[in-house]
C-alpha cells in the first residue's frame, strides 16, 4: 500500500495516516489561515511545516472551532481552516451549533477522528462508540459535510478547500497510531503576534 495519504501499511485498516492527511490539506494552501486544536493536530501541522499563518492551540480544549469562527468573521477575504481532533471537537460540540447559525462562507472545520484521546493514552472517545460528528454538523445546519475514509475523498476535499464558498465540515478517519511529536512554538504571545503581523493587523 502506498500513495498520498496512506503512509506506512497498516494491514487491512483503511483509515488514513494523520501526517499525510495534514500535508494533503495544506499542500498549496495559498493564503489560507490555519487554526489547530490542542494535541496531535498541532503536531501534525508543525510536522507539515511551520508557518506564521498557523495558530496552534496549546490549551483551550474545545475552543478551536470558535477561534476559527471569530477569525473567519474578522477576515472574510481569507479562507480559514480549523483542523482539530475528535476529543477536542466533542468538548465544544455547542460550537458546531453556533457555527451552524453563523455559517461564514470562508470557514472549514476538519476533524481528525481516531476515536481516541491520543494525548492521554489512547482512551476511547465518544466517536469510538458511534457518536457521529458529521451527523451533529448536519443537524446544526451545516450542509457541506464530508465523511472521509479513503484517499480519493481526501484528495477531493483538499481541492475543495482551495475554492470553497460555504461553511464546510469534514471528518477524516485516521489511524490510532501516534507518530513522533513535532512541537511548534509554545509561546502564545509570539504565536498571536506573528499571525497578526502576517495579516497586517499588528
Partner 1 sequence: MTELATAIADWRDDIFAALRAAEIRQVGYVPDAGHSRLLELCNADPAIRMVSLTTEEEGIGLAAGAWLGGQRAALLMQSSGVGNCINLLSLAKSCRFPMTMLVTMRGEWGEFNPWQVPMGTKTQAALELMDVLVYRVERAEEAGETVTAALDIAFNGGLVSAVLLAQRLIGAKRWVK
Binding site for partner 1 (CB under 8 A): 35, 55, 57-60, 62-75, 78, 92, 94-95, 97-98, 101-102, 188-189, 191-192, 195-196, 199-201
Which residues, other chains included, contact 140 with Cβ-Cβ below 8 Å and sequence gap of 6+? 96, 97, 99, 100, 101
Least distance (Å) between residue 118 CB and partner 1: 20
- Minimum CB distance to partner 1 smaller for 1 or for 73: 73
Cβ neighbours of residue 102 closer than 8 Å, sequence gap 6 or more: 69, 73
The closest of 88, 29, 19 to 54, measured between CA atoms, is 29
The closest of 52, 55, 20 to 34, measured between CA atoms, is 55
> Minimal distance in Å, beta carbon 101 to partner 1?
6
Cell digits for 201? 493587523
Torsion sign across C-alpha atoms 183, 121, 111, 162: positive
Instruction: Please state the closest distance from residue 98 (CB atom) to partner 1, in A.
Output: 6
CB of 124 vs partner 1, minimal distance in Å: 23
Nearest to partner 1 of 75, 160 (CB atom):
75
Nearer to partner 1, 10 or 53 (CB): 53
User: Least CB distance from residue 86 to partner 1, whole Å?
Assistant: 18
Task: Report yes or no: 110 and 83 within 8 Å, Cβ to Cβ.
Answer: yes
56 vs 151, which CB is nearer to partner 1? 56
Nearer to partner 1, 54 or 114 (CB): 54
Amino acid at each position: 500500500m502506498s500513495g498520498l495519504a496512506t503512509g506506512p501499511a497498516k494491514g487491512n485498516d483503511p483509515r488514513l495516516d494523520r501526517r499525510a492527511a495534514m500535508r494533503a490539506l495544506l499542500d498549496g494552501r495559498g493564503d489560507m489561515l490555519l487554526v489547530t486544536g490542542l494535541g496531535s493536530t498541532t503536531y501534525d501541522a508543525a510536522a507539515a511545516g511551520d508557518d506564521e499563518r498557523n495558530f496552534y492551540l496549546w490549551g483551550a480544549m474545545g475552543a478551536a472551532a470558535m477561534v476559527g469562527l471569530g477569525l473567519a468573521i474578522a477576515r472574510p477575504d481569507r479562507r480559514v481552516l480549523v483542523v482539530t481532533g475528535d476529543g477536542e471537537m466533542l468538548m465544544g460540540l455547542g460550537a458546531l451549533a453556533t457555527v451552524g447559525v453563523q455559517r461564514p462562507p470562508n470557514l472549514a472545520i476538519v476533524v481528525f477522528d481516531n476515536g481516541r484521546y491520543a494525548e492521554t493514552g489512547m482512551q476511547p472517545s465518544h466517536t469510538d462508540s458511534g457518536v457521529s460528528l458529521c451527523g451533529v454538523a448536519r443537524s446544526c445546519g451545516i450542509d457541506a459535510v464530508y465523511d472521509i475514509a479513503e484517499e480519493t475523498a481526501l484528495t477531493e476535499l483538499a481541492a475543495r478547500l482551495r475554492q470553497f464558498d460555504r461553511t464546510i465540515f469534514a471528518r477524516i478517519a485516521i489511524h490510532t497510531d501516534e507518530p513522533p511529536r513535532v512541537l511548534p512554538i509554545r509561546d502564545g504571545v509570539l504565536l498571536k503576534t506573528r499571525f497578526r503581523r502576517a495579516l497586517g493587523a499588528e
